[in-house]
Chain A
Amino acid sequence: MSTSTKKEAARQRIAAKRAAEAAARAAEQRRRRTVVGGVVAAVVVVVAVVVAIVVQTGRTSTAADAASPGNLSAGGNGYTFSVGTGPVTVDVYEDFQCPNCKAFEDAAGSTLEQLQQSGAVTIVYHGMAFLDSSRNDDYSTRALNAAAVVASDAGTAAYQQFHDLLYANQPDEQTGSGLTDDQLVSYAEQAGATGEDVATDIRDLVYGDWVKDATDQASKDGVTGTPTVFVDGTQLSDLSADGLRTAVEDAAG
């Protein structure tokens, strides 16, 4: 082998080695970039999640000593009002802004109250407020707060009467702007809540936090939509007057 050929071979070896080294360096750089990028991404995700949890927890928390209305169901969960003493319990989950609840009240509300008056059922009202909007000026919350004020001031029969008045005069969910506080105060008076603090308590949302907790409690009960009706613990699927009457008769045995 000639000297020049040996030199040529050596040069090629060196060039190949350098190319391999450069490739390794580039690979190492890519690897480092990937690691840095991955770490940065993980940190960004963790920070975003933690911030979201902290902020949203703050927005949903209610005062531990939130004001509770009087005349709540004895032995209940603290968020219900009971009317009647009948052996069959009818739990009604409703939102005062919910059009399907109005449909249920129009169809079966009077039947339910007759069953209660005849001593067949106890009605347990579970108020919920999840249809607040800027358009209706948070009507769901204002209405349930007002109903709690009425029950607190004048008892659960007055709650029932106020409840019926609000469904009879329900503003449209899509186009309505909710009843005003003045209207709520006037219906409260009609229902018999005439205490001197009634108007103030309605306007000041004195049970605002209780309303939030009541809505959360209903969700924990497995109820996420309205109206939901349970007859002695069994969910009523036929929400007509006949469906209700049949279910109550079956439950009474």
Chain B
Amino acid sequence: MRSDEVRPWLATAARLLLGGVLVVAGALKFPDPAAAVRAVRAYQLLPEPLVAPVAFGLPAVEVVVGLALLAGVLVRAAAVATAVLMVVFLVGIVSAWARGLQIDCGCFGGGGQVAAGETRYLSETLRDTALLLVALALARWPHSRLALASRLEPATP
């Protein structure tokens, strides 16, 4: 197959990967809102009045962006939003790592403190970096197959 035939399918795969991860990660944070608040607070980055709104609002953004990617609507904007989310998550994780906090990232619900030696900062950082690169690639080449709004997307040269 020629590369210009393969690329849209790669973009579809990227959409499904990023969209699936975001929808699952966001949805898992809804059942226990008190735990979501504690997970955000554990990063010790936000002033207390912002903790709950971020704990409740961020999963909603994840789900909306994820659904847009899965459906294939506004793919480029959703890919850029995903990249921004990943940068935010990376800043949080790396700063917690640098400050020596013993926390779980709470990326897929749960979160909070873990015992010393049980932190997984390296794998969490590598995972989010990989997702960031996929999101950036999708923002550069958003044209994909099986997209709801494929006719609306301007053809990418």
Contact = CB atoms under 8 A, between A and B. Distances in A.
A243 interface: no
Contacts of A48: 60-61, 63-64
Interface residues of A, number: 30
Given A33-B152, A225-B114, A130 B35 contact: yes
A251 interface: no
Contact of A222 (B44, B74, B115): B44
A239 to B, nearest CB: 10
Interface residues of B, number: 37
Contacts of A38: 74, 77
Given A48-B64, A224-B41, A225-B113, A37 B34 contact: no
Interface stretch (A67-75, A145-153, A196-204, A212-220): A212-220
B109 interface: no
Contacts of B48: 220
B38 interface: yes
Interface string B10-53: 00000000000000000000100111111101101000100011
Interface in A6-45: 30, 33, 37-38, 41, 44-45
Contacts, number: 84
A52 B37 contact: no
A60 B37 contact: yes
A100 B114 CA distance: 11
B112 A225 contact: yes
B72 interface: no
A38 to B, nearest CB: 7
A52 B60 contact: yes
B113 A215 contact: no
A223 B42 CA distance: 8
Contacts of B36: 56
Interface string A207-244: 00000100110011011110010000000010000000
A177 to B, nearest CB: 19
Contacts of A41: 68, 74, 77
A144 B154 CA distance: 59
A44 B64 contact: yes
Contacts of A223: 113
Q: Which of A212, A222, A228 has the most CB of B within 10 A?
A: A222
A55 B154 CA distance: 38
Q: Which 7 A-B pairs have the closest CB atoms?
A: A225-B113, A224-B112, A52-B60, A56-B56, A56-B33, A224-B113, A49-B57
Interface of A: 30, 33, 37-38, 41, 44-45, 48-49, 51-53, 55-57, 59-60, 100, 130, 212, 215-216, 219-220, 222-225, 228, 237
15 contacts: A38-B77, A45-B61, A48-B64, A49-B57, A52-B30, A52-B59, A53-B52, A130-B112, A212-B34, A220-B48, A222-B44, A224-B42, A224-B113, A225-B115, A237-B116
Interface of B: 30, 33-39, 41-42, 44, 48, 52-53, 55-57, 59-61, 63-65, 68, 73-74, 77, 102-103, 111-116, 152, 154
